[in-house]
Amino acid sequence: MTAVFDAMQLGAVSLDVLSAGAATPAGIAERQERRLAHVLAAARRDSRLYRKRLAHLPAEGAPLASLPVVTRGELMQRFDDWVTDPALRLDELQAFTADPARIAEPYLGRYVVWESSGTTGQPGVFVQDAQAMAVYDALEALRRHTPRPLQRWLDPLCLTERIAFVGATSGHFASYVSVQRLREINPWMTEAMRSFSILQPTGALVDALNAFDPTVIATYPTAAVLLAGEARRGALRVQPREIMTGGENLSPAMRQNVTQAFGCTVCNSYGTSEFLSLAWECGEGSLHVNADWAILEPVDEHRRPVPAGQPSCSTLLTHLAQTVQPLLRYDLGDQVTVRPQPCACGSPLPVIEVRGRCDESLVMAGRHGQPVTLLPMALTTVLEDEAGVFDFQLRRRDAHTLVLRLPLQGAEAAAAMARCRVALASFCAAQGMPSLHIVEELGQAVPLGRSGKACRVVAGAC
């Protein structure tokens, strides 16, 4: 298996990323305009869906605001018309992502494929070519802030690091696929970079991390808080020099909790299944949008522009490196606030504050009454992968009871609930919770959180 990787494209993109770091806002805007024209041309030429949707617009010079807004549900329903390569068919891709043995395997020998969670009620399948992966690789390598720049300069290939990814490893998820791809590209990382499933019992996870003794941990904020608690009580004895978080909201309290427990810096980032490396955190603690490769439009509930300094209802993404699945004014659902002032770090890239996933960890009672923490990412992975349910809310009622809400009705609802009960009972038993009571709520809509996304795992009222 040869990973999707083009050294020449990576080199060219890396030079441009370095150059853009010293550019002016006008220079960033020029890059956006040029790349948008390229993506639009590819969409008009090769995507049946976009050829029709853009037919009323001029061939050149159409302002971004004149383009129609698209949603995941709409694009997935017309997947075969959306993609620009006719060899890509949704049914075949779904069969590919259903096989865990093929995680990070190049699809058709030239594509990286991953699937998204169903936070919008609709899972997605996303295909990346070598150009898009070169952009992600360059942005991750050159813009991600490190608290140890001298170490990175002396060891750019991370040969002295032991990097632990703690996350969902049961499916073709973007983060896990990316880790496995890096291990394929860089054989020396096979032992230096390992993945640890959040679905395993906390004790087993702690033991595995103690044995590996990572110098860097990459995980979700809620998992980082869980590990911080294990470190405080002396069970987790690792001493990482850096903790990298993403995929969920990282509150100031969570950052302080993790920083104090491990005595190291926490570096946050913002990415999505649609665009892996949307924003990076600088030394000032600000999230900078990679605006030379992605355009974010904060909008209100009527999809009208929201001025800087005000939180949006949602955000539209235009992907400037993606031509296989053109993403033009794609509704992400995340709530974003653009900071009106430039950052003290000197970067020309805009600063944003993001409110994405609003899911919470659930603290339940274990076999002997001891607290057992159920991570939201683990719970959603179990319900999606094992029960095949994507639109739901799981709410803690008390230490022994979970309330599961599904918007389904009739026989379909009963069958889905039965699958969920089996999956949750098995998972919770493995976590040390043999006694679990599930209260059913059927035929009721899943409420949205403040981010505008489904509030799927909550400790109380959403």
Tokens 């009580």 belong to 233
**221 φ, ψ (degrees, to nearest 5):** -55, -40
Give the chain's end-to-end CA distance (angstroms, integer). Answer: 45
202 and 322 fall within a common domain:
no
128 and 4 fall within a common domain:
yes
343-395 pLDDT tens trace: 999 999 999 999 866 688 999 999 888 999 999 999 999 999 899 898 899 99
Q: Output the CA torsion 339→27→295→358 (10° steps).
A: -30
Spatial contact of 408 and 443, defined as CB atoms under 8 Å apart: yes
The domain that contains 4 carries what CATH number?
3.40.50.12780
For residue 451, the model assigns a pLDDT of 46
Tokens 């002016």 belong to 24
222 and 327 fall within a common domain:
no
58 and 107 fall within a common domain:
yes
Among 324, 356, 388, give the residue marking a domain's end.
Answer: 356
How far is Cα 51 from Cα 396, in angstroms, rounded to an integer? 47
Question: Which residue would you say has higher pLDDT here, 459 or 295?
Answer: 295
How far is Cα 239 from Cα 245, in angstroms, rounded to an integer? 16
152 and 132 fall within a common domain:
no
129 and 4 fall within a common domain:
yes
Tokens 């920083």 belong to 259
Q: Which two tokens stand for residue 79?
A: 């997947």
245 and 322 fall within a common domain:
no
14 and 139 fall within a common domain:
yes
300 and 348 fall within a common domain:
yes
Domain encompassing residue 170: 148-263
Q: Indicate left, alpha or beta for 243 from its phi (over 0: left) and psi (-120 to 50: alpha).
A: beta
- Is residue 119 over pLDDT 80? no
- Is residue 72 over pLDDT 60? yes
13 and 67 fall within a common domain:
yes
Residue 128 per-residue DSSP state: E
The domain that contains 181 carries what CATH number?
3.40.50.980
Which range is most confident: 102-116, 139-153, 445-459? 102-116
Among 320, 337, 356, give the residue marking a domain's end.
Answer: 356
CA 323: distance to chain centroid? 20
- Is residue 264 over pLDDT 80? yes
Residue 70 per-residue DSSP state: B
How far is Cα 374 from Cα 43, in angstroms, rounded to an integer? 43
Task: Please tell me whether residue 111 adopts helix, strand or coil conformation.
Answer: strand
For residue 180, the model assigns a pLDDT of 94
The domain that contains 393 carries what CATH number?
3.30.300
Average predicted confidence (pLDDT) for the chain: 91
407 and 444 fall within a common domain:
yes
Q: Which two tokens stand for residue 448?
A: 């949205």
Among 242, 263, 284, give the residue marking a domain's end.
Answer: 263
Rounded CA Rg of the chain: 22
**403 φ, ψ (degrees, to nearest 5):** -105, 120
How far is Cα 428 from Cα 35, in angstroms, rounded to an integer? 48
Strand 393-398 relative to strand 401-406: parallel, antiparallel, unpaired? antiparallel
Spatial contact of 192 and 163, defined as CB atoms under 8 Å apart: yes
Q: Which two tokens stand for residue 206?
A: 């702690």
**Percent over 70 (pLDDT), the chain:** 93
Picking from 49, 84, 36, the residue whose alpha carbon sits closest to that of residue 325 is 84
122-169 pLDDT tens trace: 789 999 999 999 999 999 989 877 666 555 554 555 667 899 999 999
- Is residue 458 over pLDDT 70? yes
Question: Which residue would you say has higher pLDDT here, 63 or 150?
Answer: 63
Element spanning 395, H or E: strand 393-398
454: pLDDT confidence band, cut at 50, 70 and 90? Answer: low
Contacts (Cβ under 8 Å, ≥6 apart) of 10: 134, 137, 138
29 and 142 fall within a common domain:
yes
How far is Cα 136 from Cα 139, in angstroms, rounded to an integer? 5
For residue 460, the model assigns a pLDDT of 73
Spatial contact of 291 and 348, defined as CB atoms under 8 Å apart: no
| Number of domains present in the structure of the chain | 3
Lowest mean pLDDT among 15-19, 151-155, 214-218, 237-241: 151-155
Picking from 340, 298, 341, the residue whose alpha carbon sits closest to that of residue 317 is 298
How far from 151 is each of 141, 179, 240, CA to CA, in Å? 14, 21, 14
Buried b (16+ CB within 10 A) or exposed e, 355-387: bbbbbbbbebbbeeeeebbbbbbbbbbbbbbbb
